[in-house]
Amino acid sequence: MEAESKDKIVSIEKPELIAPPDWKPVIMGILCNWCSYAGSDLTGTSRTQYPPNIRIIRVPCSSRVDPWFIIKALQTTADGVLISGCHPGDCHYISGNYYARRRFLVTKELLKMVGFHGHRVQFSWVSAAEGAKFAQVVKKVTDDVVKLGPLHLYKKENFNR
Amino acid sequence: MDYSNQIRDIAAKLFAEGKIDVFVGYRMSGFDDNQVPVVITDPKETSVLVFTEKSVFNLTNYLKADHTRNKRVGLVVKGCDSRSLNLLLTESQVKRDKLYIIGVACEGVVDDKGNKMQNCMECFIPDAVVYDEMLGKLQGKKDYIVNADITELATKGLVERREYFEEIFENCIRCNACRHSCPLCYCAKCCIDQETSTLYNGTNTSSSAFHALMTWSLHLAGRCVDCRNCEKACPSHLPLHLLHKQNEKVIYENFQNHLAGVEEGDRGAFYKYSLKDPDDFIM
Amino acid sequence: MSFSTFVTDKAGLQKLYEAIISKHETYAPVEKFGKYDYKKVSSLKECDPDSPIAMTMSVKPLFFPRSSKIMKYESNSAGTSVSETEDDHLAVPRVILGVKHCDARGLQVLEAVNKWDYIDSDFQKRRANTVIFSTRCDKADTHCFCTSLDYDVENLDATDVALVNGIGGKLYIQARTEKGENFLKENLEKQSAVGSQQSAMDDIKKQYEAFAASFRLKMDYKDVNEKMSKRFNSPAFEEASRNCVSCNTCAFICPTCHCFKISDVKIKDTGVRYKSYDSCNNVYFTLEAGGHNPRPAKYRRWRQRSMHKFVFYKERFGVNLCVGCGHCAISCPVNISIFDVVNHVASTPVVL
């Protein structure tokens, strides 16, 4: 079920570049330990399939995500970033995701201004019981990034593709 | 706007009364009609002090220097400077009882060419918000105006914006002058310092500039007071205010009209939250 | 050995520039955000060889780039292999237009340290393959003091070809080195050589006199060198550096500052080793691995900077490291000029 890229996929930010035919997107998934990571576990145990393009990193809480993580991911391997945490009000640490929400909005808007497409960085609230939703979210993010093409902006030296 | 005489008198009085050890103000540069900051420890030198619409540099930057640490300091602040001072006070970087603050009801400062600076045309807090003594006539708060450059950028397409910013990051020489001249960048070690940065330890390429400037501006989001010290220091004349003003606009529009440092005890937009914050961008 | 001088006018110069750009790889000042920096150009419209000195970055990055790759390395089960980086794009034959005299002198000064205990072959190669076209300024800027230093601005031999504005729209093109002479012979067509014509020489001399008279800043460098060497412990450094914000701008844009740091940018088992600028005004500059910092205070770093420019380099190589371009004062957010600092220190009493 891996997302297949079609012929002649161009990068939306740099239309002059055409992706190689075997290009597959890489999504960096940063999931909170208490809800989204458990949710992704449930997706696995209930045998729901989702695109394997996502690479998951577990963090204690969505507010652990410094905007710097997103920038670093985009500058190295990732073509897109998905950050997922508990629903508002369900945070294990009472209010972590409320703080995180503010940071995410500002980060996303700033990245959009400097020339990244808004779909490069996406956020979701996935609870431990929402295995199906997690599969859906990953599928949507992967589809979006496939449409955008590979990311070529400000890549770190050795990651130039 | 000329408060030179008042400031000289106040500084001389403070030294005479023994209230301060150091005074931070402006003096004439000596070669043109621009002004430079001056750190005075000798009471006899107070006669060099001036304050006109050429007094541009944000002096709260000097509160993190060796000369003022743990000393009683007198300093002059304009509206924007006092907002950064407010943040420094809340973040426990300086002690209020060690400061004697001369607030100014600022009518706007001018750049080297004599034009009024852009941030002064859009200024919404011209009067100092924290002070011991006030000079000039209070003007009160004004309405928040979205930065003209940001409005213009928003009308451009994705590719056009990307090209514009690529040029900015390409022309950055990674000297970190922006960070060092910022009054709110007081960390002894910063994640964008080339020596401590884990991703780009020491290179001066455009992707390293992107990394540094983006991280830097996001760490200042909700705290930046738009004093433009960074732009004044930038040797490549980069429009660094774009990054900060964009963050400020998003924060103002979405987080209950938050503006950094306007109220006493304000800690910046990211240190608080509201249940009503926008949620529609999250799946 | 004397070199030829040619006379032309504005249109002739434009034609010469156009011919150079079409035939050679050319770098010239290009405006970005109100600041000129030397970039590769493909037509005369893109650039401005007459860019004002105050708004132009130094030419140093074309010889000593802000960040250059030294080597690549890779380690696997068989061991570690080191490979050269790709070809040096700055070492190809090229021409640089619109260089200022002080910048060109900066390169000449840097040659000494690059030929010292370690011979920097990259720098030498880039220098040897470059023809420098410089323009003599007509008027000094606020912070300029090049005429007060230990080099001959009038007959500078650090540049290959020098342009001098004469009276009545006349432009003199002077070859200053053999390289420049040969280059002019190849590229100049139907231009009249003036040889050693008296009127032309007078004209050039007059222009220099007018230029030299326009300086605001003047000093006696021999006196300063001598006085500075005796004032290492002077408290004047503390006074002079008090309002420095340690932003490092001065070192990054200086045409002669050459301190660098080595850093590895690596991913898993492969990496690139970079050489990038560093500044002695940076707190980290002398920080040792054990945590000790020999220069923790700002004035000590300023002392190092000004003593290096006017004493240490002079002792070792016989030339001042400062060329008097004034870029540090122009770019400094608080307008500290090295001229003011050294003169202030030199004017204080000797402290042993």
What is the complex's ipTM, to 2 decimals?
0.91
In this prediction the pTM is 0.91
Which residues, other chains included, contact A91 with Cβ-Cβ below 8 Å and sequence gap of 6+? A34, A61, A62, A85, A97, A98
Query: Residue C66 has which token pair?
Result: 């802000």
Strands B22-28 and B35-40: antiparallel
Which residues, other chains included, contact C121 with Cβ-Cβ below 8 Å and sequence gap of 6+? none
**Rounded-to-integer distance, Cα B84 and Cα B89, Å:** 9
pLDDT of residue A14: 84
Q: Do B61 and C245 touch (CB under 8 A)?
A: yes
Asked which of B135, B161, B176 is the last residue of a domain, the reply is B135
Q: How confident is the model at residue B195 (pLDDT cuts 50, 70, 90)?
A: low
Query: Residue A30 has which token pair?
Result: 């940063």
User: Using one digit for the tens of pLDDT, what is the confidence trace for C35-83?
Assistant: 999 999 998 888 888 888 888 889 999 999 888 888 888 888 888 888 8
**Rounded-to-integer distance, Cα B40 and Cα B95, Å:** 20
Q: State chain A's maximal CA–CA distance in angstroms.
A: 47
- The stretch B215-235 carries a mean pLDDT of 91
Q: How confident is the model at residue A2 (pLDDT cuts 50, 70, 90)?
A: very low
Residues C29 and C149 in one domain: yes
Task: Give me chain C's average pLDDT, please.
Answer: 87
Whether residue B30 contacts residue C334, with contact meaning beta carbons closer than 8 Å, is answered with no
Query: Residue C151 has which token pair?
Result: 């080099």
Query: Residue C5 has which token pair?
Result: 């001088």
B45 neighbourhood in chain C, CB within 8 Å: none
Shortest Cα–Cα distance, C257 to chain A (Å):
26
User: Residue C155: exposed, middle, or buried by beta-carbon count in 10 A (0-12, 13-18, 19+)?
Assistant: exposed
Residues C183 and C258 in one domain: no
Residue B141 lies in a domain: no
- The single residue listed with the structure tokens 């500290």 is C336
Mean pLDDT check: name the lowest of A113-127, C245-259, C271-285.
Answer: C271-285
**Rounded-to-integer distance, Cα B5 and Cα B47, Å:** 9
Residues B265 and B165 in one domain: yes
pLDDT of residue C196: 58
- The stretch A20-30 carries a mean pLDDT of 89
Residues B125 and B182 in one domain: no
Residue B143 lies in a domain: no
- Rounded to the nearest 10 degrees, how much is the dihedral formed by the CA atoms of B27, B29, B33, B37? -40
- In this structure, chain B runs to a length of 283
pLDDT of residue A70: 93
**Rounded-to-integer distance, Cα C131 and Cα C218, Å:** 31
B210 neighbourhood in chain A, CB within 8 Å: 71, 75, 114, 153-154
Whether residue B102 contacts residue B115, with contact meaning beta carbons closer than 8 Å, is answered with no
What are residue B94's phi and psi, to 5 degrees? -135, 155
Whether residue C265 contacts residue A159, with contact meaning beta carbons closer than 8 Å, is answered with no
Residue C351 lies in a domain: no
Residues B37 and B72 in one domain: yes
Q: Do A88 and B275 touch (CB under 8 A)?
A: yes
**CB interface of B with C, residues 190-249, below 8 Å:** 193-196, 200-205, 208, 229, 232-233, 235-239
A1 has a pLDDT exceeding 80: no
Task: Give me chain A's average pLDDT, please.
Answer: 88
B269 has a pLDDT exceeding 60: yes
**Rounded-to-integer distance, Cα B210 and Cα B155, Å:** 22
User: Using one digit for the tens of pLDDT, what is the confidence trace for B234-268?
Assistant: 999 999 999 999 999 999 999 989 999 888 888 88
Shortest Cα–Cα distance, A134 to chain B (Å):
10
B194 has a pLDDT exceeding 70: no
Which of C247, C213, C62, C216 has its CA nearest to residue B65?
C247
Q: How confident is the model at residue C152 (pLDDT cuts 50, 70, 90)?
A: confident
Whether residue B185 contacts residue B215, with contact meaning beta carbons closer than 8 Å, is answered with no
Q: What angle do CA C243, B190, C260 make, to 5 degrees?
A: 75
Query: Helix, strand, coil shares of chain C as percentages rounded to 5?
Result: 40, 20, 40
**Rounded-to-integer distance, Cα C184 and Cα C194, Å:** 14
Asked which of B114, B135, B156 is the last residue of a domain, the reply is B135
**Rounded-to-integer distance, Cα A159 and Cα A151, Å:** 11
Residue C156 lies in a domain: yes
Shortest Cα–Cα distance, C177 to chain B (Å):
32
Asked which of C213, C235, C255 is the last residue of a domain, the reply is C213
**Rounded-to-integer distance, Cα B255 and Cα B253, Å:** 6
Angle between helices C101-114 and C121-128 in degrees, nearest 10:
140
Q: How far apart are the first and last CA of chain A?
A: 25
pLDDT of residue A63: 92
B219 neighbourhood in chain A, CB within 8 Å: 67
Which of B4, B81, B99, B9 has its CA nearest to residue B49?
B4
| C-alpha of A120 from chain center | 7
Residues C315 and C247 in one domain: yes
**CB interface of B with C, residues 129-168, below 8 Å:** 167-168
- The one-letter code for the residue type at C155 is N
User: Using one digit for the tens of pLDDT, what is the confidence trace for A35-88?
Assistant: 999 999 999 999 999 999 999 999 999 999 999 999 989 988 899 999 999 999
A158 neighbourhood in chain C, CB within 8 Å: 265-267, 270-272
Residues B95 and B215 in one domain: no
Overall domain count for chain C: 2
**B237: domain range?**
148-271
- In this structure, chain C runs to a length of 352
Asked which of C213, C248, C276 is the last residue of a domain, the reply is C213
Query: Residue B105 has which token pair?
Result: 């009801």
Query: Residue A139 has which token pair?
Result: 């599928």
Residue B75 lies in a domain: yes
- The single residue listed with the structure tokens 């997107």 is A25
For chain A, give every domain's residue range: 27-149
Positions of E strands within B73-212: 73-77, 99-104, 133-135
Q: Could you count the other beta carbons within 10 Å of the beta carbon of residue C80?
A: 9
- The one-letter code for the residue type at C284 is Y
Query: Residue B129 has which token pair?
Result: 């918000």
Which residue in B has a C-alpha nearest to residue A70's C-alpha? B215
Residue in A105, A123, A124 closest to B250 by CB:
A105
**C307: domain range?**
221-346
> Does residue B279 sit in helix, strand or coil?
coil
Interface test with A, best of B151, B211, B255, B283 (most A CBs within 10 A): B283
What are residue A19's phi and psi, to 5 degrees? -70, 145
A161 has a pLDDT exceeding 70: no
pLDDT of residue A5: 45
Overall domain count for chain B: 2
Whether residue A62 contacts residue A32, with contact meaning beta carbons closer than 8 Å, is answered with yes
pLDDT of residue C6: 84
- The stretch C134-139 carries a mean pLDDT of 87
Asked which of C213, C231, C247 is the last residue of a domain, the reply is C213
Whether residue A149 contacts residue A161, with contact meaning beta carbons closer than 8 Å, is answered with no
How many CA atoms, within 13 angstroms, populate the side-chain half-sphere of residue C143? 24
- The single residue listed with the structure tokens 């220097």 is B65
DSSP letters, C297-329, are SHHHHHHHHHHIIIIIHHHHHSS-S-----HHH
Query: Residue C52 has which token pair?
Result: 């004002």
pLDDT of residue B242: 93
Residues B16 and B111 in one domain: yes
- The stretch C246-262 carries a mean pLDDT of 90
User: Per CB distance under 8 Å, which residues of C are interface residues toward A?
Assistant: 265-267, 270-272
- The one-letter code for the residue type at C67 is S
Q: Which chains neighbour C (Cβ–Cβ under 8 Å, 3 or more pairs)?
A: A, B
Residues C27 and C165 in one domain: yes
**In CATH terms, is domain A27-149 a member of 3.90.1690?**
no
pLDDT of residue A126: 94
**Rounded-to-integer distance, Cα C136 and Cα C164, Å:** 6
Q: Could you count the other beta carbons within 10 Å of the beta carbon of residue C177?
A: 17
Q: Could you count the other beta carbons within 10 Å of the beta carbon of residue B204?
A: 22
Which of C279, C281, C277, C311 has its CA nearest to residue C295?
C281
- Rounded to the nearest 10 degrees, how much is the dihedral formed by the CA atoms of C261, C267, C270, C275? -10
B77 has a pLDDT exceeding 70: yes
pLDDT of residue C1: 55
Whether residue B271 contacts residue B258, with contact meaning beta carbons closer than 8 Å, is answered with no
| C-alpha of B186 from chain center | 12
Which of B109, B110, B106 has its CA nearest to residue B139?
B106
DSSP letters, C19-70, are HHHHHSEEEEEEEETTEEEEEEESSGGG--TT--GGGB--SGGGTS-SEEEE
Residues C276 and C162 in one domain: no
Shortest Cα–Cα distance, A66 to chain C (Å):
21
- The stretch B63-81 carries a mean pLDDT of 86
| C-alpha of C302 from chain center | 20
**Rounded-to-integer distance, Cα C182 and Cα C165, Å:** 22
- The stretch C91-107 carries a mean pLDDT of 91
pLDDT of residue A8: 66
Which of B211, B170, C116 has its CA nearest to residue A75?
B211
